[in-house]
A and B are shown apart, each in its own frame.
Chain A
Amino acid sequence: MTPAPLGLRDRIREIADLLARLLLMFVTGLGISLALGGIVLLLAGPAAAATADDDTVQQGTLLFAGADGGDPLAAPLLHTDVSIRVSGPIVRTTVVQRFRNPAGDWREGSYVFPLPETAAVQRMRIRVADRLIEGEIQERAQAQATYEKAKAEGKHTALVSQQRPNIFTTRVANIGPRDEVLVEIEYQHRLPYYVVDGVGRYSLRFPMVVAPRYIPGRPVADEESGAIGATDVVPDAAAILPPMLLPDERGPIINPVSLNVYLDAGAPIATVDSPFHRIRVDTLKPAVRRIRLSEGRTPANRDFVLNWTLASGAAPHATLFVEPAAARDHALLMLMPPAASRVARRLPREVVFIIDTSGSMEGTSIVQAREALALALERLDAEDRFNVIEFNSEPFALFDAAQPASRANLSRATHWVRHLRARGGTEMAGALALALDGGRSAERVRQVIFLTDGAVGNEAQLFGLIQQRLGDTRLFTVGIGSAPNSHFMRKAAQAGRGSFTYIGQVGEVAARMGELFARLESPVLKNLSIVWPAGAAADATPDPLPDLYLGEPVVVAAALAHGARGELQIRGDAGDIRWTSSLSLAEAHPGEGIGALWARDKIERLMDALSEGAAEDAIRPQVLALALEHRLLSRYTSFVAVDKTPARSADARLKSGAVPSALPAGWSPAGVFGELPQGATDARWHALIGLIALAAFGLARTRLRFTSLEA
C-alpha cells in the first residue's frame, strides 16, 4: 500500500491548516500571558516584587559600574604625579596622569579630576614610549572631532576638556595591551595671600577630590523654590551606589597621587605646614623649601593644602610683574595697602550668621559649622547687633530682627546653635533673601556670614539673588567639610563683595574663624581704584575692585599697550582717610605666564557675565578668541594631542573604561559617574524561543500525521 499521492489542493490545505494552528497557538499564548501578567500585576503584590527582582537582572537596570561586581581591573589604572613650582605668588603645576592598561586588549580610558578653580591650563602633551606629542588647543567641538577621528584610526590620542571652572576630564584612546600612556597637564595660578599680624601668609591648595555635587547625577535645584530635594535623592542614592572604594578597605590605593613641591617664596620662610597630609620638608635655602609627602603616595580622597608664612617683616608690600608680548604687555599687580586700622573709627556692626543645616552637612560638617558659629558669637562686642538663621528645606531665624549682642541674647543663641541638627533639603535662596535686606546706611557695617558646604545646583540663580539684594551688606562665605563647593562659595562671596574662607577640619575652625573675624572687625578699604598711566590703554580685571579687609592685598591683572611706561596710582578710602600709593611700571619684574593669568581672569569675568544672564552668542566668541590666543583650556576650547602613526590595527577592538577615583564622604566615583540606564527587555528573545518551539511543535505534529497516514 502506498500513501495516496497528495494533490496540490490537499497540500495547500495542509499548509493552511498548519499556519492556522500556529496562529491559534500564538494568540492563545499571548492571551494567556496577558491574563497572567494582569493577574500578577493586579493581585499578587509581594509576588510581583519578587518577580520584578528577578527581572532586574534579565531586563537590565541602571547599574552603576562596580555595583554589578564589575572587575576593577577592567578599568584603566591611573597614577598621578604632581610637581608644583611656587615662585613668589605664582604657582606653576605639572600634573602627569599615567594611564596604564592592565588588560590584554586595546582600551580607552577616561578620568574626571579637579584643578584649582583659578587654574589657567596652558599646556597638554602625551608621552607614548619615548615620544612626546604636544597637545593643541582647539575649539571644543573640533577637538572632540579630532580625538574621535584619531581614536577610530587607532592612533594614540588624548583629549582634555573643562566641564566646570574647576572640573576637568581626560580621555585617552588606544592604550595598548599592558601599555602606558602619560598625559601631562600644565597650569598656572595665583596664590591667595594675606597679612595677619604683620606676617605674610600664603595658602596653596591642590584639589584631589571631585565632590559629588559637581558630578552629573547630583540634584539641580528647582528654579522657583531653590529646593534641591536632597531628601528625595539621598535615600535612593544610597540604594544604587556600590560599596565605597575606600583604599583602606580595599587594600591597594586605587588612584595614588605623588606630590612634589618646590617652594621659592621669594622671602625668608618662617613656617610650612600641611593640615591634611604628612609632609617632609627639606630646607634648601632660607627662602626655598622642597616638600614631599611622607608616605610617598596618597589616595586622591582629600585636598592637599600647604600653608606657609614669611619671616616677620618680610611680607612683600608690592609686587608687579610684567610680561612683554608682541601685541600687548600683560601686568600682574599685588599690593598690600598700609595698615590704617589704628586711625579709623570703628563702626558698630550688624552681623547675620546663616548656617546650613541641610542633610549634606550631616557628620563632621555640622560639628565644624556649630563650632565656628559658637566662636563667632563669642567675638561679638556689646554694641554690635546680630541674628542667626538656620536653613535646610526652609529658613528659620532665631530673632525676628537683629538683636543687641547682650549676654542674655548671646547665651540664648549659643544654646540654640548647640542644638542644631543637619537634615532636609538645601533651600539657600530663602535664607539669603531673609539675610540680605537690600538696605543702605552710612551708620552701619552690615555683614552676613554664611557657613555651608555649598552643595547646590542653582548657583546662577543664587548669584543673581545676592547681587539684587546686597545693598551695602557684605557677604562672607565659610566653606565647611572635606571638599566644599569652593567655586560656588568664592563666586557667592564675590557677588556679595566679601571673601571666602575655607575650613577643612574641626581643628582648624578656631584659627580660620579667628583670621576671618580679625579681618571683619577691622575697617574696610572702600572705593578702591587704579589710575593707569596715560596711553597704557589698560584692560584690567577685576573691575571694579572689591572692598579690602585687613591683610588683603589688591590683586589686579591687566593687559597694557606694548611698551607702556609711567606710574600707576592706587587709591582707596580707609574710614575717614584717603590713601594713595604709586608704582612705576619700569620697576616691574619680568614675569612668565602673566598673559595667561590675565586671560584666565578675563575669561572668568566673561563667564560670570554669562551666568548673570548675558547672551551666550555675545560671550562665546570673546572667550573663544582669548582662549585660542593664550592657548587656554576653557568651556569652549579643549586640548587634543594626536600621535602621527597608528598604533592599533583596524581589526583590534577598542574597549572603554573610566578610571575610578576616590571620593570624600564615602562616595565612590564609579558609583557616581556610573552607567547609563539600560533600556531593553528579553521579550524578543522569549518570543523567538517561543516561535522556534512552536515551529518544532508544528513539525512534530506534521510528522505525527504522516506516520499515522502510513499506518
Chain B
Amino acid sequence: MNASCNDCKHLEFLGVECAWPAAACRPAAPVRRPRRIQRVFQLAAAAFLLIAVWQFGQAGYIHAKAWLAQHLISEAWSRTLAGETQVKPWAWADTWPVARLRVPGRDVERYVLAGSNGRTIAFGPGHVFGTAEPGMPGNSVIGAHRDTHFAFLQWLDDGELIELETPTGQVHSYRVTQRAVVDKHDTRVLAAHPGERRLTLVTCYPFDALRAGGPLRYVVTAERVPDRLPSPLLHAAL
C-alpha cells in the first residue's frame, strides 16, 4: 500500500491509487452534476410534452372537425329534407349537404357536402362538382379522407349495398361492383357513360400511409340497384 494512498495533498497523489480515497480527497463534482442534468432533462421533458400535446392537438383537431361537423350537417340535412335548399350547416360555411350516404351493413352514415376541395372534405365527404348530382343518372363522384369519413372504404367488399338519400328524400341503393387502385391522374373514373347510374367513391391509398399527398387513389364503384317494385303480394293485398 502506498503512503500517498489516502493523502490527497501528497505530490504523488493521482486520485486513483486507493480503492477508497479519503472523503476530503473526493471531487465535489459528483454532487453538483445530477442537478445540472436534472435541469436539462426537465427542460427536454417539458419540450417533448409540449410537442406531444401540440401534435396530438393537430391530429385531434382534424378528427374533431370531421366528427363535429357531421353533427352540425345532420341538422342542415333535416332542414334540406324539409324543403330548404343549400342549407349551410354553419353561418360561414361555403358548402351545404347534398346527400346522405349510408352503408347499412357497416353502420356507416355520412353527410355528403357540395364540392370536393380540401376545405370542404375536412368536414365531410365531398361531391365532385360537375359530376352527376347524387341519385341522378350518370356518374356521381364523391371524395373523402381515407382516415376520417372514408376509412370504412378499406373494408367494403364487392356486392355490399350503399344507400344514398337525395334532398327530395328518395333513397337509392347501389351495389359495389368494383374496387381499384388508380393513379390520381386517371380521371377515367370520373367519366360517365350514357344510360348508367353509378356512384364512385374516391379516397387516398394506401389506407395506412402516414402522410397525405400520395399519388394513388382507391376507387370504389357501385352500380345502381333498380328501385324495388311493389311485390306481387302487396298487389294482391291491395
Q: How far does the alpha carbon of A218 sit from the alpha carbon of B192 in the complex, in Å?
A: 10
Contact B61–A26 (Cβ < 8 Å): no
Question: Which residues does chain A contribute within 8 Å of B146, judged by CB atoms?
Answer: 679-680
Select the stretch in B17-25, B51-59, B229-237 that faces chain A: B51-59
Q: How far does the alpha carbon of A33 sit from the alpha carbon of B54 in the complex, in Å?
A: 8
- Size bin of chain A's contact surface: 35 or more
Question: Which residues does chain A contribute within 8 Å of B49, judged by CB atoms?
Answer: 25, 693-694, 697
Q: How far does the alpha carbon of A45 sit from the alpha carbon of B118 in the complex, in Å?
A: 17
**Interface residue? A65 (CB, 8 A):** yes
Q: Residue of B at shortest CB range from A679?
A: B203
For residue B118, give the distance in angstroms from its CB to the closest CB of chain A: 3
Question: Which residues does chain B contribute within 8 Å of A685, judged by CB atoms?
Answer: 210-212
Contact A38–B68 (Cβ < 8 Å): yes
**Interface residue? B129 (CB, 8 A):** yes
Provided the pairs A219-B130, A220-B132, A656-B186 are in contact, do residues A679 and B143 lie with their beta carbons within 8 angstroms?
Answer: yes
Q: Which of A52, A222, A687 contacts B122 (CB 8 A)?
A: A52
Contact A679–B136 (Cβ < 8 Å): no
**Interface residue? B111 (CB, 8 A):** no
Q: Which of A61, A459, A688, A707 contacts B118 (CB 8 A)?
A: A61
Task: List which B53-80 residues lie within 8 A (CB) of chain A.
Answer: 53-65, 68-69
**Interface residue? A36 (CB, 8 A):** yes
Q: How far does the alpha carbon of A34 sit from the alpha carbon of B53 in the complex, in Å?
A: 12
Q: From DSSP, what is the main secondary structure of chain B's interface residues?
A: mixed
Task: List which A334-392 residues lie within 8 A (CB) of chain B.
Answer: none
Task: Kindly name the residue among A30, A222, A693, A710 whose own CB sees the greatest number of chain B CB atoms within 10 A.
Answer: A693
**Interface residue? A48 (CB, 8 A):** yes
- Size bin of chain B's contact surface: 35 or more
For residue A621, give the distance in angstroms from its CB to the closest CB of chain B: 17
**Interface residue? A129 (CB, 8 A):** no
Q: Residue of A at shortest CB range from B69?
A: A41
Contact A690–B55 (Cβ < 8 Å): yes
**Interface residue? A163 (CB, 8 A):** yes
Question: Which residues does chain A contribute within 8 Å of B26, judged by CB atoms?
Answer: none
**Interface residue? A6 (CB, 8 A):** no
Task: List which B1-52 residues lie within 8 A (CB) of chain A.
Answer: 31, 34-35, 37-38, 41-42, 44-45, 48-49, 51-52
**Interface residue? B97 (CB, 8 A):** no
Q: Which of B60, B116, B145, B209 contacts A30 (CB 8 A)?
A: B60
For residue B53, give the distance in angstroms from its CB to the closest CB of chain A: 5
Q: How far does the alpha carbon of A361 sit from the alpha carbon of B137 in the complex, in Å?
A: 25
**Interface residue? A16 (CB, 8 A):** no
Task: List which A471-520 residues lie within 8 A (CB) of chain B.
Answer: none
Kindly supply a per-residue 1/0 record for chain B positions 144-185, scoring 1 wherever the CB is within 8 Å of any chain A CB and 0 otherwise: 111110100000000000000000000000000000001111
Provided the pairs A52-B122, A688-B210, A704-B42 are in contact, do residues A677 and B143 lie with their beta carbons within 8 angstroms?
Answer: yes
Contact A61–B65 (Cβ < 8 Å): no
**Interface residue? B238 (CB, 8 A):** no
For residue B59, give the distance in angstroms from its CB to the closest CB of chain A: 4
**Interface residue? B189 (CB, 8 A):** yes
**Interface residue? B199 (CB, 8 A):** no
Task: List which B85-126 residues lie within 8 A (CB) of chain A.
Answer: 90-92, 114-119, 121-122, 126
Q: Which of B130, B186, B188, B204 contacts A237 (CB 8 A)?
A: B130
Question: Which residues does chain B contribute within 8 Å of A696, judged by CB atoms?
Answer: 44, 48
Task: List which A36-85 residues lie within 8 A (CB) of chain B.
Answer: 36-38, 40-42, 45-46, 48-49, 52-53, 55-62, 65
Contact A681–B62 (Cβ < 8 Å): yes
Kindly supply a per-residue 1/0 record for chain A positions 12-29, scoring 1 wherever the CB is within 8 Å of any chain B CB and 0 otherwise: 000000000000011011
**Interface residue? B221 (CB, 8 A):** no
**Interface residue? A460 (CB, 8 A):** yes
Q: Residue of A at shortest CB range from B150?
A: A679
Q: Which of A217, A675, A683 contacts B185 (CB 8 A)?
A: A675
Q: How far does the alpha carbon of A700 sit from the alpha carbon of B42 in the complex, in Å?
A: 7
Task: Kindly name the residue among B42, B60, B191 whose own CB sees the greatest number of chain A CB atoms within 10 A.
Answer: B60
Question: Which residues does chain B contribute within 8 Å of A37, judged by CB atoms?
Answer: 60-65, 68
Contact A677–B202 (Cβ < 8 Å): yes
For residue B51, give the distance in angstroms from its CB to the closest CB of chain A: 4
Question: Which residues does chain A contribute within 8 Å of B226, judged by CB atoms?
Answer: none
Q: Residue of A at shortest CB range from B140?
A: A220
Q: Which of B35, B117, B136, B189 contacts A676 (CB 8 A)?
A: B189
**Interface residue? A651 (CB, 8 A):** no
9 contacts between A and B (CB under 8 A): A29-B52, A34-B60, A52-B119, A216-B130, A237-B129, A679-B121, A681-B148, A684-B147, A688-B210
Query: B residues touching A (Cβ–Cβ < 8 Å)?
Result: 31, 34-35, 37-38, 41-42, 44-45, 48-49, 51-65, 68-69, 90-92, 114-119, 121-122, 126, 128-133, 136-139, 141, 143-148, 150, 182-195, 202-204, 209-214, 217, 219
Query: A residues touching B (Cβ–Cβ < 8 Å)?
Result: 25-26, 28-30, 32-34, 36-38, 40-42, 45-46, 48-49, 52-53, 55-62, 65, 110, 163, 169, 216-223, 229, 232-233, 236-237, 240, 457-460, 610-611, 616, 635, 656-658, 673-691, 693-694, 696-697, 700-701, 703-704, 707-708, 710-711
Known pairs A61-B117, A233-B130, A458-B137; list 6 more (Cβ under 8 Å): A32-B53, A460-B194, A673-B187, A690-B51, A697-B52, A704-B41
